[in-house]
Each structure stands twice: as C-alpha cells, then as structure tokens.
Structure 1
Amino acid sequence: MKRWIAAWLAGALFGAGLALSRMTDPNVVLGFLDVTGDFDPRLAFVLFGAVATTLIAFRLVLRRPRPVLAERFQLPLSQAIDRPLVTGALLFGVGWGLAGYCPGPALVGAAAGVDTALAFVAAMIAGSLLQAMTARRGPA
C-alpha cells in the first residue's frame, strides 16, 4: 500500500509540475522546439531544472543500499546504443515535434479532457500495441 501511495504522490507531483511549467500546452512546447522561428525559451529553465535535480538526486539516492519502498534498485542492465534505441528515440522526437506532446503531458491533458491530448494518447496506445506485436515476432 505504501508503494501505491508513493507512486500516486509522485505522479501527482509530476503532473502538477508539468501543468505549472505549461508543458501540457502543445503550443508552448512547439514554441520551445521552434529554434529558427518564434522561439520560446521558457521551457529551457524547466529542462535545466530537471537535469540539475536528476544529477544531484541520483547521486544521493544511489548511495543507499536499497530504495525506501523496494527490495532493490531496478536499473537498466544494457548501456548499448543500438538500432531499436535510436529508432525509438527518433520516433519519439518526431512525434513530440509534430504534436507538441510527449507521454507525461499528454496523459495530464487527457485527464483534463483536452481533445488533442486524448487523440495523442489513443495514438500512443496504438503505437505501444504495434510495438508489442512486432517485438513478439522477433527480428526480421
């Protein structure tokens, strides 16, 4: 039960941060990505704040023998930069650039009933299902 409460609180805090920074508004995100046009630098502060927080927090947290609410840390085993990673990153970036949404802000927007976010989440679920079906078939 403690893990569910901690997950809910972390998700609520994350969603509030996304809303406060206006990352749930695709026009703000697209303005940030438009470096040659009507560039809006405000999200750079969000980006730098997130990176700084992560750099500090990860160093502190990983000094612990184990997480507070789990038996062990679950860290990625592979550090390989392979085709699936690069392809996924490219698709993510293109989707973010075209729609102005990434999964977190889209879920916040969908929970608020924003029609573009609902469409994005539906497409995201379809893409996830397609990936799962493709992965089950194995490499081509």
Structure 2
Amino acid sequence: MRMIWGFLSGLVFGLGLVISGMSDPAKVLNFLDVAGSWDPSLAFVMGGATVTTYLGYRLAWRRPAPALGTSFDIPTNRSIDRPLLTGAALFGMGWGIGGFCPGPAFTALPLLAPGTLVFLPAMLAGLWIGARIKARGFPVLKGASA
C-alpha cells in the first residue's frame, strides 16, 4: 500500500512540474535571467509550493505519526558544513547551466530533448561520484563538523 501511495504522490508531483512549466529548461533559464528576458512566472509556482508545504507541515505535525509509518524521519544534523555548501553550489550551477532540477529533468525525459538526454546521465554520474566520495570520507576543514 505504501508503494502505491508513493507512486501516486510522485505522479501528482510530476504532473505539477509539467503543468507549471518547471520541466521546460527554457522557462527556468528565463526565470534565472533577471538582466535579460526575465520570466517571473516561476516565482508564483515557487510561492504556491511554499504555501502548500507550510500548510502541509502544519497539518502533519499535529499527527502522532505519519499516515503510512510509525514515526517521522527527522534529520538531526543541523550543521552547515563543507559538503552541504559544496552540494548546494553544484546543484545551483547545474540548475543555472542546464535549466533543470532533478525532478523536472525526469519529467522531461519522455520528450527526448537533446539537453535532457545529456543532463540526466551527467546528473546520475555526479550522484554516483558524490556517493563514492562521501563513502571514502569527505575531507573536513579544521573546526567544521562532518
């Protein structure tokens, strides 16, 4: 039952990405181009997502446990360290260069656009390489936590 709900949630999320235009890299790149052909429409998509998330969390935290689980899986690490900043920078650069976030890249895959066919394998390779680097032990700066 949990897999069915996960599939349906992913399907609704993917449809939302396609309907909102987030799977179109040109629309995303125009949103990021504030000095050129700026398209502010994705700000409304992000604003709507923020409000929905805020309300959803307020409702979820009132429950003793998730609907399909025994307890909430809440991260305990709150440190801002080098791996976090490096990952955020790489994510931002990939989004700015390719015009894709990981979710929208997968929703754009059926279109078989050349940019998608280059971006997705590169993203998956980066995830694989990142996991290998993390498994080996990421070097930590003095005074920073891992």
- Is 1:27–1:100's contact at 8 Å kept on the other side of the alignment? yes
TM normalised by structure 1 equals 0.95
Q: How does 1:97-136 map to 2 (within 5 A)?
A: 97-136=96-135
- Is 2:23–2:105's contact at 8 Å kept on the other side of the alignment? yes
| Gapped regions of structure 1 (runs ≥ 5) | none
Instruction: Spell out, residue by residue over 1:99-133, the C-alpha distance to the aligned partner (whole angstroms, 9 max, x if none).
Output: 00010000111144333212211011100111111
Matched, 1:22 2:21: yes
- Is 1:109–1:118's contact at 8 Å kept on the other side of the alignment? no
Shift of 1:96: 0.1
Shift of 1:24: 0.5
Q: Which residue of 1 aligns with 2:93?
A: 94
- Percent identity of paired positions between Structure 1 and Structure 2: 48
Shift of 1:4: 0.6
Instruction: Spell out, residue by residue over 1:3-31, the C-alpha distance to the aligned partner (whole angstroms, 9 max, x if none).
Output: 11111101100010000011101000000
| Gapped regions of structure 2 (runs ≥ 5) | 140-146
TM normalised by structure 2 equals 0.91
Q: Which residue of 1 aligns with 2:2?
A: 3
Q: Which residue of 2 aligns with 1:50?
A: 49
- Is 1:26–1:99's contact at 8 Å kept on the other side of the alignment? yes
Q: Which residue of 1 aligns with 2:38?
A: 39
Tell me which stretches of 4 or more aligned residues in structure 1 moved more than 6 Å.
none
What is the CA–CA distance in structure 2 between the aligned matches of 1:11 and 1:112, rounded to whole Å?
A: 18
How many aligned positions are there? Answer: 139
What is the CA–CA distance in structure 1 between the aligned matches of 2:61 and 2:31, rounded to whole Å?
A: 32
What is the CA–CA distance in structure 1 between the aligned matches of 2:6 and 2:135, rounded to whole Å?
A: 29
What is the CA–CA distance in structure 2 between the aligned matches of 1:24 and 1:117, rounded to whole Å?
A: 10
